[in-house]
A and B are shown apart, each in its own frame.
Chain A
Amino acid sequence: MINQSLSLPNNEEITTAPNGHRLLSLGRHMTLLIEKQAIIRNVWLLILLAIACVATLGMGSMPISPKEVIAVLFGHGNVMSQFIVHDLRLPRLLAAIFTGAAFSLAGCLMQTMARNRLATPGIIGIDNAAMAFAVSSVVGMGVSLAPSAMALAGAATATALAFGLAGGSGTRGYRFIVAGIGIGAIAGAVTQLLLSQVSIDVANSAYPWTVGSLSARDPMMVKVLGIGLGTCLVACLFLASQFALMPFSDQVITGLGANIKHIRIIALVLCITLTGLAVAVAGPVGLVALVGPEIARVLARYRGIPLISSALTGALVMILADLFGRTVLSPIELPVGIVTAVIGGPYLIWILVRRTSRTSL
């Protein structure tokens, strides 16, 4: 009798959402908690992204008006603009969106997990290692795997090494980052070594890729990246409530009933997948991972972990950087990696210089 009166009703379900949120029930046992502000924010970002896309498709050595671009996208318009938009500019735009979103999402996850704004895949050497492995398959060192697979292997190797060498300190603190810087330096040296072994033609064709460029992408790898990005985005949506715990200390997370190890491993796997696939397409453009999540965090007013917004802002930054590099000094094309380095470098220094931070990140 006493037992019965103390126990909670078995079939009670959470039916009321916290303020500013909405519950979306999927089936009987699954509900998604959605923040209304986030929806509005992401819709705005999507609109901005669409505008940027139309502008990008229209701009170039052969300008096309926005009206014409929209007509072409819906299957109308003349043959010339159809060719330019569909065959020349759209694949590049898609590659920019995918890589930007992937780098930025990976950066946001890694920063949250390490509780450190500087811990992005580019800085801890994952980019460089993925690059070195991918280059080894391109220059044909007797390995016949696809560059995507090799880049994934490289990313995983670098992460494992960084963790192993950082010793017991886990993902926290700066030791992890410095271990990564060392691994990045070795991987960069290996890339140079591989490129110095092959003929000058092969080395020259691989060069734009090693500084990060969208002009040398492979359509197959863009497709693989698209699929990977889609999967990771869906995974992030469903795991958002778990990832939201990561800013707390380990004890609090365990106290709340979540398994900190599982969360970390999942976040790491997502990071490695996204970074590896994106590097296989565009080379190391890692500074997007630093800038994209920051913009998203400002837009979200430092509340929660803006995963989806980060992906959107990353795509936006990548499109604009590529557009800038493509048009501002035409006919010379600046590789997107150089544009982002010129933007991201001062930003990195600013992070280090300023005295107080608004959040723990």
Chain B
Amino acid sequence: MISWFYIAPAQRPLFSVFVSALFVLALCCFCSLLFGAGGLSLQASFQTLLGNGSADAQFTVFHLRANRTLVGLFVGLTLGIAGALMQAVARNPLAEPGLLGVSAGSSFAVAITLVLGASTATLTVGVAQFGALLGCLCVLSVARMQGQQNDPIRLVLAGAALSSLLLAVTSLLLLFDQRAADEIRFWITGSVAGRDTNTLFSVLPSMLIAIICILYTAKPLASLALGERVAIGLGHKPQRVRAVVIVAVALLVGGATAIAGPVAFIGLVVPFAARALVGPDIRRTLWLCLPLGPIIVISADVVSRLVAQPAEMPLGVLTAIIGAPVLLLIVRSRRMPTL
């Protein structure tokens, strides 16, 4: 394992990196079941995992903690993949669903339906996904409109502007409606705790579509990374590939947002870590994003339970604290000399 550090990222064996990441993920899931805020001691949790615990302990470990681990798994998976896809299609290491206002579009759509009378329990995932699609299209068209060569920072600024606008309108909507504000207050901070796992099953069909989209686009995206002309020369259709990827991103981000609320910076950190481990090829990065996303979300969730006992810290806060330094690191890196 140590010898990996001497190999260039692009030459590392994908299979062994992937398997070790899976091993770390299993460890994270185990920790997530073991640690927690509240009365249950570490030993009692361990005993419960081994099969002999009280009914209370069993409920805590196998229902409460298992559920949030499952939600964390799903959110990490979707947001990590969405981030990698978005960065590939925008050819911009800063493109991230949270920063670019895709999550904000999704929460805006959810807020509208809540004001119109839905409740978070019966929330349809489709609404969140539609909002994410609109947000995605908005920010990409804004960034595309000035007709210059792709400017990474401009995209982020457009996303920041779009996010702040959508968030302001969202809070404006919630001012009128006390019920909707109460419903959304716990959802909008972004957390994996106390979420309804039934929503997970309603998301699955759209995830299937997203997986098909990704399988279709992985190869064209890899050639698109070499430039638009090269991709055309290799027989791909960049416009169509982009459209398919945007649909996939919207499905993934909308699904994650519908379940856990907006969680920022996951889509930035995960592909960044994946590229550092296995190099820039999107086909390799995507594989590694699968275990890395859940690793980061679940470990952040475990930390958020432990640092502020007996209360919990919102997950969104922790991901921002992890993600913002990574953002700075990317901006400072020598690969972005045009800034």
Q: Using Cβ atoms and an 8 Å threshold, which residues of chain A touch B171?
A: 211, 338
**Interface segment, one of A40-48, A236-244, A340-348:** A340-348
Instruction: Tell me, in angstroms, the Cα distance from A182 to B323 when the chains sit together.
Output: 8
Give the number of A-B contacts (CB < 8 Å): 117
- Residues 136 to 187 of chain A near chain B (Cβ within 8 Å): 165, 167, 169, 173-175, 177-179, 181-183, 185-186
Q: Using Cβ atoms and an 8 Å threshold, which residues of chain A touch B339?
A: 169, 173-175, 178
Q: Using Cβ atoms and an 8 Å threshold, which residues of chain B touch A123?
A: 157, 160
Consensus secondary structure, chain B interface: helix
Q: Are B146 and A118 in contact (CB under 8 A)?
A: no
Q: Mark B153-185, 1 if CB is under 8 A from A, else 0.
A: 110111011101101110110011000000000
Q: Are A185 and B165 in contact (CB under 8 A)?
A: no
Q: Using Cβ atoms and an 8 Å threshold, which residues of chain A touch B313?
A: 193, 196
Q: Using Cβ atoms and an 8 Å threshold, which residues of chain B touch A118?
A: 157
Q: Chain B's nearest CB lies how many Å from the CB of A168?
A: 10
A contact residues, range: 35 or more
Q: Are A341 and B164 in contact (CB under 8 A)?
A: yes
Q: Are A178 and B327 in contact (CB under 8 A)?
A: yes
Asked if A65 is at the interface of the complex by the 8 Å CB criterion, the answer is no
Identify the closest chain A residue to B326 (Cβ): A182
Q: Are A346 and B146 in contact (CB under 8 A)?
A: no
**Interface segment, one of A24-32, A220-228, A308-316, A349-357:** A349-357
Q: Are A352 and B327 in contact (CB under 8 A)?
A: no
Asked if B226 is at the interface of the complex by the 8 Å CB criterion, the answer is no
Interface residue from B154, B168, B189, B317 paired with A338 (Cβ < 8 Å): B168
Q: Using Cβ atoms and an 8 Å threshold, which residues of chain B touch A185?
A: 264-265, 320, 323-324, 327
Q: Using Cβ atoms and an 8 Å threshold, which residues of chain A touch B316?
A: 189, 192
Asked if A304 is at the interface of the complex by the 8 Å CB criterion, the answer is no
Identify the closest chain B residue to A181 (Cβ): B160
A-B contact pairs, 15 of them (CB 8 A): A175-B331, A175-B339, A182-B324, A182-B327, A189-B317, A189-B320, A196-B313, A197-B311, A342-B169, A348-B161, A349-B161, A352-B142, A352-B158, A353-B142, A353-B145
- Chain A residues proximal to chain B, CB less than 8 Å: 118, 123, 165, 167, 169, 173-175, 177-179, 181-183, 185-186, 188-190, 192-193, 196-197, 211, 287, 332, 334, 337-338, 341-342, 344-346, 348-349, 352-355
- Chain B residues proximal to chain A, CB less than 8 Å: 94, 142-143, 145-147, 153-154, 156-158, 160-162, 164-165, 167-169, 171-172, 175-176, 189, 264-265, 308, 311, 313-314, 316-318, 320-321, 323-325, 327-328, 331-332, 339
